[in-house]
Amino acid sequence: MKFDQKVLVNKPKSYQPKKNEDEKIMAKDAKEIKTKKTAKSEEKLWWVDSKGKRIDGRGLNDLRNIKIQAGVLPNADGSCYLEWGQNKVLVSVNGPREVLPKHQANPYKAIVRYTYRMAAFSVTERKNPRPGRRETEISKVSGEALEKAIFLERFPNTAIDIFVEVLDANAGTRIACLTAAAVAVADAGIPMRDMVSGITVGRADGKWIVDLNKHEEDAPDAVDMAVAFLPNTKDVTLLQMDGEITPEDFAALMKTAAENVEKVYELQKKALKESFENKKPEMVPGMEDFMNSTPHAEHEEHGERVSLKAKDPLSFDASDYDANENTELEENPDAEHEAFDGGKE
Ligand code: CDP
């Protein structure tokens, strides 16, 4: 490559642009900034119109459309697919199962391992597939929010693994995931003291609104509060907030959240009911004939003849079993003891 010696020689050693050149550059920059600002202010940026309608046509307290389907992954113990507006999430639950690595096991209760991940294609700008701090934080708080609803002490030394994948995101994904995860845990048949139902509430453009979308979350005065409840007791199991509000507004927002979360809870119950109705007990070949054959078609229950055919195989009444156990013990109080020591005496 040839160097232009003339230019190099003529150029001063420490080259500084002349003052008037600096001024020119600064003036150009200022003009550009001004043009951008003007363009932005001319854009029609609005969040709630004069009739109280939001940009996506919802009223102030309307949720986006929610669709919940339980039991979608046959390889998982429990699963759920949920759409919440544009958000699409998939949850798989495995457990209670052996804890690996073993040192994580708790001898008093099951541990919950909640993993929230966003697919690289779930947002407009590619999301780095490596788990970031945001995902670690959401996994932690969501796992703790679910723990409150599960009878963990019944499964010591085990783990309940919950994997959550966000396939498409438009604000409120942590709440969408938590809501779906609670359904998936119930779908896995893990005993729970209550459901966990979540909602976001907040403010955009000076108006208090429910279930914020991305546009509303990005409003200059936005308040974005994610809340999860045990819906029957209204105990709060998750509470996170962006933005600044007064204590009075906070109390009012919590009330709005508690009222509107009922809608989410109803949809969760509906999804679980539909899933259990579709689950047919697996019949061993010949089992159906056995159930229908005359000698076994009836049995005696509390002195009454009961037809097995009339019984819905899905209707399990725990009191039947307790009653039988108690009767045996009442008749022969030593029965349990005998069974234990092999009836030596
Ligand atoms: O989703 P959520 O509102 O629970 O959490 P957030 O951290 O407030 O994120 C709000 C929204 O920002 C997400 O729902 C995504 O739509 C978007 N987002 C994104 O575009 N890229 C990321 N890496 C993370 C979030």
Nearest CA to ligand 1 atom 23: 127
Nearest CA to ligand 1 atom 20: 123
Task: Please state the domain count of the chain.
Answer: 1
| CB-based contact 82:180 (threshold 8 Å) | yes
CATH number for the domain including 116?
A: 3.30.230.70
Which is it for strands 87-98 and 78-84: parallel, antiparallel or unpaired? antiparallel
- Position 173 in a domain: yes
| CB-based contact 208:256 (threshold 8 Å) | yes
- Position 77 in a domain: yes
Task: Quote the ligand 1 centre to 92 CA distance (angstroms).
Answer: 21
Tell me the whole-structure pTM to 2 decimals.
0.73
The pLDDT tens digits of the residues spanning 282-326 come to 666 666 666 666 544 455 556 565 554 444 444 545 555 454 444
- Position 79 in a domain: yes
Strand ordering across the sheet containing 197-204: 207-210, 197-204, 223-230, 235-242
- Position 296 in a domain: no
pLDDT(239) > 70: yes
Task: Determine the atom of ligand 1 nearest the C-alpha atom of 132.
Answer: 23
- Ligand 1: residues with CB < 6 A are 123, 127, 134, 169-174, 214, 217
Out of 123, 127, 135, 211, mutate this one to test ligand 1's pocket (max ligand atoms within 8 Å of CB): namely: 123
Percentage of the chain modeled with pLDDT above 90 = 65
Nearest CA to ligand 1 atom 18: 123
Please state, in angstroms and rounded to a whole number, the distance separating the CA atoms of residues 35 and 29.
Answer: 10
Nearest CA to ligand 1 atom 6: 171
pLDDT of residue 345: 35
Domain that holds residue 124: 66-278
- Position 143 in a domain: yes
Model confidence band, residue 46 (pLDDT cutoffs 50, 70, 90): confident
The pLDDT tens digits of the residues spanning 137-166 come to 999 999 999 999 999 999 999 999 999 999
